[in-house]
Amino acid sequence: MFRNLVLVGFMGSGKSSVGRLLSSLTGFALVDTDTLVAQEAGQSIPAIFRRHGEEHFRALETGVLQSLVGRIGLVVATGGGIVTVEENRRLLPQIGPVVWLDASPDHLYQRVKHSKRPLLQTADPRRTVEELYRAREPLYQEAATVRIDSTNLTHRQTAEAVLALLRQQQEQQQQ
Ligand code: S3P
């Protein structure tokens, strides 16, 4: 078995919901880097972006990842932009196998279009999703151990697919 399990993926990819299911299937505790960042800063994510900017938010995210290295028994759900920082791409696999929850940009947009996420408060959020997705795709690829396309899957099917893939991968490594 793995020590922890890390979920990365674009906003709306289902990291929190799938993370909750994975937590109940594995018995691991669910932690969410956005929640830890907000706790650390004593303010909400939109407030951090508004008052201090994205760079400050990214530095807080890195601090949270550093604090998770060495812990065991966690499902770690991350913020969608965590892979944009090189140091984070280095830290993520040190925590545990990194699972990229992927879906088509169109699907992702449908899931986030009514949300208040700071980076999507633009004149054309559909285009923003498309552009951010294209820019981040290679970074998720670089950080991840496995990729699951959840476009046509329920959260439960996605969680089960994650565990099946990780177990399959472990078996292959043991051979
Ligand atoms: C962000 C995604 C958000 C949150 C912040 C920045 C991003 O998390 O960390 O608003 O850069 O994609 P979710 O992926 O959970 O929405």
Full-model pTM: 0.97
Taken in order 16, 17, 18, 20, the sign of the CA dihedral is: positive
Q: Which pLDDT score is estimated for 169?
A: 87
| Structure confidence by residue, pLDDT tens digits, 9-59 | 999 999 999 999 999 999 999 999 999 999 999 999 999 999 999 999 999
Q: Average pLDDT for residues 76-100, to the nearest whole number?
A: 98
Q: Is 97 helix (H, G, I), strand (E, B) or coil?
A: coil
**4-164 is a CATH 2.60.120.200 domain:** no
Q: Which pLDDT score is estimated for 171?
A: 87
Q: How far apart are CA 83 and CA 90, in angstroms?
A: 9
Amino acid in the structure at residue 126: R
| Structure confidence by residue, pLDDT tens digits, 111-160 | 999 998 999 999 999 999 999 999 999 999 999 999 999 999 999 999 99
Report the atom number in ligand 1 closest to the C-alpha of 112: 16
The answer to whether residue 174 scores a pLDDT higher than 90 is no
The pocket around ligand 1, CB under 6 angstroms, is made up of 11, 15, 34, 45, 79-81, 117-119
Domain range annotation of the chain = 4-164
